[in-house]
Amino acid sequence: MPHYFSEDNNTLKSNPLEVAFRVNDTDLKFQTDYGVFSKSGLDRGTRVLFDYLEVLDNEQSVLDLGCGYGVIGIYIAKSHQLSVDMVDVNKRALELSEKNSILNKVDTNVYMSDGFSNVEKKFDLIITNPPIRAGKKVYYKFFSDSVNYLNEGGRFYVVINKKHGAMSAIKYLESIYESVEILGKKKGFHVLLCKND
C-alpha cells in the first residue's frame, strides 16, 4: 500500500487542497493532496524546525532532503532568495513541489531521488524532516549519506520527535559527525544541527 515515502502515490485518488500559513515573516501557500505528508497544513515538527533554523549568509547551496510538497525548501528559497534543490521519492510530492515553487515564485530544482541516489553535487546546508514511517533503515541512510554531500564547513539539520527515537538518532549521528548539537526541544521534537569542524 502506498504511503508518503513511496513512488506509487499516483495510484491514490486525488483531491487537491490549498493551504496557506506564515512562517516568521514569510507568507506561503501550497497545493497538497492525498499521499503526501501533512497534507492539511504545516506539521508540528517542521514548525519547530523553523523556530531554530538559521541559514548563514555564506550558505548558497541548499538541499531539502525528502521534500514532500515543498514546505522547507520553498520557505528557504523565498525567505533567503536562494535557489534550493528539493528531492523526494514520491512522484506526487515532486509534482506538487514544482507547482508550489511556481505558486510561491521561487527558484528551485526539484527532482526524483531515493535519499541521495540521484544527488550529484555537494551542499552548504542539508535539511530534513525524515520520513519516519518509512522506517529507521531508510532515514538512517539519510543520516549516514548526508556527510558525503556536504561542502567543507557544511551543516545538516534534522528534526525528530523523542517518541520516534530522537535519542538513538542523536547517538547514531554522533558516530558520523564530530558535532551534534540539540538546538532546541518543543512538544517532543528535537532540532539537531550536525557538522564536522
Please report, for the chain, the start and end positions of each structural domain, with discontinuous segments joined by +.
9-195
Contact (CB, 8 A) for 4 and 93: yes
Name the stretches of the chain with pLDDT < 70.
Answer: 1-11, 37-41
Residue from 139, 132, 140 nearest 172 by CA? 140
C-alpha cell at 70: 515543498
pLDDT for the residue 39: 63
List pLDDT tens digits, range 31-83: 988 878 656 667 788 999 999 999 998 899 999 999 999 999 999 999 999 99
pTM (2 d.p.): 0.91
Pick the CATH number of 9-195 from 3.40.190.10, 3.40.50.150, 3.30.1330.10, 3.90.650.10: 3.40.50.150
Query: For residue 80, which amino acid is it?
Result: H
Q: What secondary structure does DSSP assign to 30-83, as a single string?
A: EEE-TTSTTTTS--HHHHHHHHH----TT---EEEET-TTSHHHHHHHHHHT--
pLDDT for the residue 58: 87
